Structure 1
Amino acid sequence: MQRSVSPLGRKFLYAHEGVVTKAYRCPAGEWTIGAGLTSKSGVVKVTPGMIITEAENDRLVDLALSKNYVPRVLAALGSECSQQALDAGASFDYNTGAIHKASWVKAFLGKDFVQTHARLLLWTKGGGKVLPGLKRRREAEYDLLVHGDYALAAPPPAIPPRGGAQILVRLSAAEIENIKEGLKSLGFDATAPRGCIGLHAVLKYQESRDLLVDGKVGIATLSSLQRDLDARLKGKRAGLGAAAGTSVVAGDQVTNVVTNPLPADPSALLPNQVATLVGVGIIAAAALYLVIQAVRYRDVIASSIDGMAPRLAALLRSF
């Protein structure tokens, strides 16, 4: 009998990955949809503007799990492992792609649960520091792996105060303040009481980035914000020295970003300067770094020129 992740295991995965039904770019720039699916999954070709239903997401995730993850989990934990172990292992591998070399596996198979826990928590770092979102995920995976606790009874997102955006992911007050600072650095005043993010700023930001405009702060919005700020960080590193960073959370993951505006990044040349450069035909003579960055962050540039050159913006978003 072919083993598979259970419906509860899939819900557990969704609780940590999030589900976005309109295509967006992840922080690495890959077009992404559903529960973190990219074209590299081999089960879907994600294209700009693509929209799927939740039922289609379920189907695609099941395909991705059975094709890419379940075989590796069973090879690591054994074909006769419990359903809860398979579900926990699939969540870990979906996130890391590394269950085949994770030291917690040996500890778990040896029933050394103290070491299982300790070694799972080795997989909580990004950029050299422990990330709160990943720590939460590893703790939840341990509870599922060892105790069978799917922890699906979490309360729904709190209803925001008047003028505040709904937050769909678990964030500390400090993380929320970092997000507000990131939006502010991009020209979106997200001022709101501590623990809240201004709704108007979120709506305007989503609209400017061709996201689903729903006023909800989730995976897609945070991924887009991270890319915007990362583009500025790249420009800073190229010509202005070190930059001060902060963190933006996305799907139980945190990515280091920069909040201070930096004029050396590609989007700082837009829209007027780029229009001038195009007019005199000297784009080809631009510095190689800026060319590379312009290609990598073409979605950021598209947002900057949307009002002035909508056709060019649409072209930049199309690949």
Structure 2
Amino acid sequence: MQTSDKGIEALALEEGDVLRAYRCPAGRWTIGMGLTAASGVIKPRPGMVITAQKSRDLTRKALTRNYEPRVTTFMPGAKQHEFDAGISFDWNTGAIHKATWVPLWARKAGAAAISVKFRLWNKGGGKVLPGLVARRERELRILIEGMYPVLAEPSRPSVSTARWVLQLDFAEKLAAMTALNDLGYLVGLDSAAIPAAEIRRFQNDHGLTADGKIGRATLSTLQRRIDAAAKTKPVALAAVGTAGASSGATVPPGTSEVTDWIAAQPWAMGAAAGVVGIWGLWLAWRYRDVIAAKLATRAPRLAAFLRSI
């Protein structure tokens, strides 16, 4: 079987359809509906731009190559809407072959039993993620009822107001708005009245298409800013702790045991400083796009270079 046009549109609402290459939260170059080099159909690179039609063609190729054969194997005899639901699930999890809801579906066990097992696929990193909870519900509606999601259009579209182009719940939107405000982008906390100019400013600073739309590329880039801040904080604390051990300076709470030990082991001081330095350099390389964003205004050429490597 092949994924229907409605199935692909539902997939686009879940994954986003980004026509300019961007880094996913893990740092991999991505384009279209979440396609990386691992898809086998394209190798995204910095600055790459594709058309909407090219994105659809690549999605079709990825489905034909990676997903439709697997879903056909494990969901034989599926109706079109059931097949489309299986495709969305497998695109997200890559686990149609081991999902416990699939044998229940094959035995026609009933919607209630299938739904219980289907909803278990709502975790990331061992934690229940609200976004996955909501996605599973949308996929279930396709699977059980044949009802495909439709992104609600704003009642009064405005060029001055940013637009959400993914299926997100209030908690996810609030988290994004809070993070943007913390970074100095004054978007407020009303998800329906975010100034498009502030979103375009964030997008310009990060080498994204400045369209004022809050989609996958913008949210993935925002996540990298959040992750970079979280991972560089321990480096800063370790650096302060190492310096404090040699100078007797006051160090942040939680580092005293480490610094006391380092102070008692002179040989460890140099080693600790070296480890902190190497760790810091590795983080700087891993999040060079974040550094580029911070340099975008003061050193645009350097920022462009960092984004290109």
Q: Does 1:190 align with 2:182?
A: no
- Report the residue type matching 1:306 in the other structure: A
| Counterparts of 2:113 and 2:202, CA distance in 1 | 44
Q: Any unmatched runs of 5+ in structure 2?
A: 239-273
How many residues align? The count is 273
Match in the other structure for 1:287: 277
Which residue of the other structure, out of 98, 102, 105, is the alignment partner of 2:99? 102
Q: RMSD across aligned C-alpha pairs, in angstroms?
A: 2.3
| Counterparts of 2:58 and 2:128, CA distance in 1 | 31
Q: Secondary structure at the match of 1:81?
A: coil
Q: Is the 8 A contact 2:235 2:280 kept in 1?
A: no
- Report the residue type matching 2:163 in the other structure: Q
Q: Deviations over 1:78-126 (max 9, x none)?
A: 2x33222221111111011111111111111111232210111111122
| Counterparts of 1:60 and 1:157, CA distance in 2 | 29
Provide TM-score, normalisation by structure 1: 0.78
| Counterparts of 1:296 and 1:231, CA distance in 2 | 9
Match in the other structure for 1:144: 142
Q: Percent identity?
A: 44
Which piece of structure 1 moves more, 136-145 or 17-26? Answer: 136-145
Q: Structure 1's 238 and 101: CA in aligned 2 closer, same or farther, altered over 3 A?
A: farther
Q: Post-superposition shift, 1:300? A: 0.6
Match in the other structure for 1:200: 197
Matches of residues 1-319 of structure 1 in structure 2 within 5 Å?
3-78=1-76, 80-112=77-109, 113-152=111-150, 154-159=151-156, 163-191=160-188, 193=190, 195-240=192-237, 287-319=277-309
Provide TM-score, normalisation by structure 2: 0.81
Q: Please identify which structure carries the higher helix content.
A: 2
**Which of these two proteins has the greater Rg computed from alpha carbons?**
2
> Post-superposition, which runs of at least 4 consecutive aligned residues in structure 1 deviate over 6 A?
none
Q: Is the 8 A contact 1:190 1:200 kept in 2?
A: no
- Report the residue type matching 2:91 in the other structure: Y
Q: Deviations over 1:275-294 (max 9, x none)?
A: xxxxxxxxx99711111111
Q: Any unmatched runs of 5+ in structure 1?
A: 242-283
- Report the residue type matching 1:36 in the other structure: G
